[in-house]
Amino acid sequence: MTRLAALTQDQLNTEVMHARARTRMGRLPDYVPLLAKANPDWIAVWVQPLHGPTCAAGDVHQPFVLMSVVKPLLLVFLLEQLGQRAVFAHVGMDPSDQSFHSLSQLRADQGFPRNPMINSGAIALADLLPGRDGTSRCETFRQWLNQISGSQLVLNEPVLASVRSLPNEANRAIAHLLAESGHLRSVEAALDTYNQICCLSGTVEDLAKLGVVLAGGVGKFKPQNSPLTPQNLRIVNALMLTCGLYEFSGRFAVRVGLPTKSGVSGAMLSVVPGQGAIACYSPAIDAAGNSVAGLYLLEQLAQTLNLSIFG
Ligand code: GLN
């Protein structure tokens, strides 16, 4: 039995109870009006081992939009479709100590996005998705994700309308600089595609199923059935570990040691390579844009179960 599969339901219930007490230490994002309407007390976790029983606790039926948790999924899709050379011609692989929507980071890098886990990198990659417009690109991508993982992601139209209701000057400035430096074909199409894929929505169960694919298994959870090449999985996991939580990534790698990605919706996904995945949702976030209760819960689980990939 793997260390992840050793988790008991009682243990998880206790951890969620403690984590729920932390939700009030975070804040809801205010730049997407519908995200600001979430209940800050919500917390859900789904632990899906490759082999072994599922454990889940909290508000597990509450759907949420992926926001930036979509970034590693976008990366793996493009690696599979286009290959490494084409992808890394448009995005780097170095960590950043700036916030996820930093324009100054992109300026310092002469318009070449530093990594795929920050907005500049994901906007550049969104422009590479095949399809004639944002809607068809998002739909192709959504269907692929559901097909490889068995998840049931849907596009959350009200949240997309809410994203569109306020101008996102930071992302627009990033897109213009990317276009000027030759890393974007169309500012409008890239931003629209990016906004749409950020609004793909599911539950912690769906997110955990996607995480299981990144952990090296799918279907009956046999790693040899993985629809993704091992090399692409290594790339995505390495970039989640080094860049997935923005400026907090280094400290999290030391304290938790799991490839992890967050989104401003409060979604979080940790991959336990070769063992399974942990998906969390709790909408109150910290200054870096990471779920406060999610960070706490992942740290507790990683320490209790000794999950760090570094042993
Ligand atoms: N769509 C969001 C944005 O661009 C995603 C950012 C995030 O989740 N960190 O601001």
Please give the pLDDT value at position 224: 53
pLDDT, residue 11, reads 97
Instruction: Report the pLDDT averaged over residues 3-19.
Output: 97
Instruction: State the distance from the centre of ligand 1 to the C-alpha of 221, rounded, in angstroms.
Output: 31
Same-domain pairing of 155 and 54: no
Taking only the tens place, the pLDDT of each residue in 72-120 is 999 999 999 999 999 999 999 999 999 999 999 999 999 999 999 999 9
- pLDDT band of 225, cuts 50, 70, 90: low
Question: Considering 172, 198, 224, which residue would you say is the last residue of a domain?
Answer: 198
Q: Is residue 72 part of a domain?
A: no
pLDDT at 25 over 80: yes
Residue nearest to atom 10 of ligand 1 (CA): 101
Looking at the domain assignment, is residue 242 inside a domain? yes
Q: Which atom of ligand 1 is nearest to the CA of 198?
A: 1
Indicate whether 188 and 169 sit together in one domain.
yes
**pLDDT tens digits, one per residue of 289-311:** 999 999 999 999 999 999 999 99
Do 205 and 61 lie in a common domain? yes
- Percent of the chain at pLDDT above 90? 95
121 with 211, same domain: the answer is: no
Q: Which atom of ligand 1 approaches the CA of 264 most closely?
A: 8
Output the pLDDT for position 51: 87
Identify the pLDDT of residue 100: 97
Within 10 angstroms of residue 147's Cβ, the number of other Cβ atoms is: 11
Both 260 and 292 in one domain: the answer is yes
- Residue ranges making up the domain that contains 254: 4-67+201-305
Q: Can you tell me which atom of ligand 1 is nearest the CA of 69? A: 8
Q: What is the pLDDT of residue 1?
A: 85
State whether 127 and 211 are in the same domain: no
Average pLDDT, rounded, for the chain = 95
Mean pLDDT across the stretch 249-259?
98
Kindly state whether residue 310 falls inside one of the protein's structural domains: no
Task: Grade residue 218 by pLDDT with cuts at 50, 70 and 90.
Answer: low
Pocket of ligand 1 (CB under 6 A): 67-68, 100-101, 119, 171, 198, 263-264, 289
What is the position in ligand 1's atom list of the atom closest to the CA of 289? 9
CATH number of 179's domain: 1.10.1500.10
Number of domains in the chain: 2
For residue 88, report the distance from its CA to the centre of ligand 1, in Å: 21
Structural domain contains residue 78 = no
Q: Please choose from 69, 163, 198, 262 the residue to mutate so as to test ligand 1's pocket, defined by most ligand atoms within 8 A of CB.
A: 198
Residue minimizing CA distance to atom 2 of ligand 1: 67
Per-residue pLDDT of 158-183, as tens digits, reads 999 999 999 999 999 999 999 999 99
**Looking at residue 176, what is its pLDDT?**
98
Q: Looking at ligand 1, which atom is closest to the CA of residue 100? A: 9
Give the mutation target among 119, 123, 163, 199 for probing the ligand 1 site: most ligand atoms within 8 A of CB.
119
Judge whether 300 lies within some domain.
yes
183 and 223 belong to one structural domain: no
- pTM attached to this predicted model: 0.97
Is the same domain home to 51 and 109?
no
Last residue of a domain, one of 147, 169, 198: 198
Residue ending a domain, choose from 198, 231, 248: 198
User: Taking the CB of residue 94, how many other CB atoms lie within 10 A of it?
Assistant: 10
Per-residue pLDDT band at 40 (split at 50, 70, 90) = very high
Quick one: average pLDDT of 236-263? Answer: 98
